[in-house]
Each structure stands twice: as structure tokens, then as C-alpha cells.
Structure 1
Amino acid sequence: MNSHELFHTLHQLSRHLTNTLNEALKPLGLYGSQWAVIYVLKTKGTLTQKELCDYLFVEAPPMTRTIQRLVKQGYVRQVTGKDKREKLIELTDLALTLFPEWESTVFETNQSLLKHLPETTQEELFHLQKSWLQQLLLRHFS
């Protein structure tokens, strides 16, 4: 494999997957970046903006814009933390009510993208992704 093929192919795949998810979520008034924040808050609970940035590996300015959009939509709220400068981000009751519908859409989109792959290949793909991500995170934070 040529050294540039890995990045080129991953970039193309990432863009295609992002666009596919955005199209699926569009009728629900969400983008994939918003779904990512909502999903993390649902699974991990209330987090600071910095914790969200670190976990999702997103710079602060785009995260700020995403959170502001979600606040405007009524899906998250910002709460002052122990330190007055610290803002905690949490889901609202509205977001918790709508979460199953959003999750179902994401699940259906996942299924439609994977349906042509045998189950063993799907499992291998997920294993490789998780393993590779863990290696990259260890390298990044060491």
C-alpha cells in the first residue's frame, strides 16, 4: 500500500459516513456532530465542555458552536460547575424524551451501511476499529 492511501481512503470513508448520518438525522433537526455530543452525554452523563472536546477529539471553537446550537434547540443546558468558570453540559428532559427516536435512526443507518457485510466481517471491523483507536489514544495521551 502506498503511504498516502491510508489517509486518503479513511478521509473519503469518513466524509461519506458523516454525510450519510447527516442525511438520516436531517429530518429530525440534527447533525452528526450534535448526535455525537448527545450520545456521549447520554452514555457518560454530565460533562464539562473540555471533557467533551477531549473525548470526541474536537477543538473548542466547533464544540462551542455545537453546544450553542443544542442549547438553542432545547436539548442541552449549561450549568455552572464548582469553579464558576467551569460549565457543565447536560441533557434536558426534551432530549431524553427524543433520544430513542434519534438512536433508532442512527441504528437503522448503521444497519443499512453494514447489511452487505457478513456478520463475521462486521465483528472483525469493530474489533479492528476499537483496537486501533485504543492504540492511537494511548499514543496521544502518553
Structure 2
Amino acid sequence: MKCPYCTNLESKVIDSRATEDNTTIRRRRECLNCGKRFTTYERIDDLPVMVIKSGGNRERFNRNKILNGLLKACEKRPVSREQLESIVNSIEQKVKNQMENEVDSTIIGELVMDHLRNIDEVAYVRFASVYREFKDIETFRQELDKLLGN
């Protein structure tokens, strides 16, 4: 495993444990060159699911894209990295459990918004404003009204 600090290829595993949902193994490693510690995750690599984007093009399902979107939406919010990882794991499981080779990107976006709505309303509105491409203040207000139950 390549060290993210010094790019040395030698490291040792200090701690290894399964995540709560038992789909991933978390390994804490220490670089044998610089001594810094880093975390890696190991999961089963199965058949790829393709995501159909809004323009019709297809790309491989990428959990990191979802995580990055969540990190941006939850920036400076009281949401832990573990909560975000759990959301990504849940979405990934739902997508893979449908037993389909392809999934529409809108389904993934709606799943993300459902999770965010339940953990942090500000993060939800941030994500929705980008995902739904609010064009003006009126569409933004309509989304807030839905959130507030008006």
C-alpha cells in the first residue's frame, strides 16, 4: 500500500476491523519509511454498476463522487465523517441490491437528499441547490417551503 505522505510502498497494519455494516474492512497502517499513519478500506470488488447521467452518457458508479458531494454539502456542519461514510455505504448497497447493471443518476441524487434531509437540513438545502440547479430565488423558496412543510 502506497503511503500518501512519502509514497513509500512498505507499510504495516496496526489495526484491522470490520465496519458496522460488515461490508468493508478498515485498516490502520503505519508507513515503514516515514512512520506516519493512514487508513485504508478494503471491500469486495464486484461487477460494476453504470450510472446514466442526465445527458445520456454512462460512467461507472463511483462512491467517492457521492462522498465528495456530501463533504461539500456538510462543510462546517455538525456531521461526522462516519455518518457520511454510512450514507455512502447505504446508497451503494441500495444501488447494487437492485440487481440492475445501470441506474439513473437522479435515483442516486434523490437517495442522497433523503439521507441529508434526515441528518442536517442546511446540508440538505446546500446539496439540493446544486443538484436541482436552482435557477432563481423562487425555486429555492419552493424547496424551503417543502422542507418546512408549508
**Do Structure 1 and Structure 2 share a fold, with TM-score over 0.5?**
no
Structure number with higher helix proportion = 1
Structure number with higher strand proportion = 2
Larger Rg: 2
Q: When the two structures are superposed, what TM-score results if normalisation uses the length of structure 1?
A: 0.25
Q: When the two structures are superposed, what TM-score results if normalisation uses the length of structure 2?
A: 0.24
